[in-house]
Amino acid sequence: MKVHRIDHVGVIVQDLPAAKDFFIELGLEVLGEAEVEGEWVERIIGLTDVKETVVMLGMPDGEATLELVKFHTPSDENGMQPSFSNTLGIRHIAFAVQDIESIVAKLKKKGAELVGEIQNYENAYKLCYIRGPEGIILELAEKIN
């Protein structure tokens, strides 16, 4: 028995177009889009009356995949809940980037906001958290020569 790699990370969103545009602006590429429903998916995820739209996004190097999912039914009765960097559960997705300042400026024009600020970590990395649509937190990491 062996685990090969992480296949993808799934993010459930309400505003699929905004989330998709945000990740495209970051540099990901659309690999595919599909409407998903039926007993087969209901049996996998343990919900009934499932109707969802799925967008698969990939990194330009092909190494990682991100799945954005918009559930049309059933809906989340609680809606979006505010979260903080220390809220329990999966909290952020980290991306290795080049030119962190330019990326942050570009994403801020799309409505993203820095959670804290860009910091130099031991002259090895520039790091920051940035919050995008749906409250999604990204960690951006730029390796310093």
d(CA 79, CA 75): 8
Indicate if 63 and 97 belong to the same structural domain: no
Domain of 27, in residue numbers: 9-73
Do 130 and 105 touch, CB atoms closer than 8 A?
no
Residue 111 DSSP class: T
Q: Which residues lie below 8 Å from residue 55, measured CB to CB, with a gap of 6+?
A: 16, 20, 30, 32, 33, 67, 68
For the chain, the domain total comes to 2
Tens digits of residue pLDDT in 38-93: 999 999 999 999 999 999 999 988 888 999 999 999 988 887 787 888 888 888 99
Q: Domain of 97: which CATH number?
A: 3.10.180.10
Length in residues, the chain: 145
Q: What's the token pair of residue 109?
A: 């024009």
Q: Evaluate if pTM is beyond 0.85.
A: yes
Kindly tell me the sign of the dihedral angle through the C-alpha atoms of 140, 102, 61, 59: positive
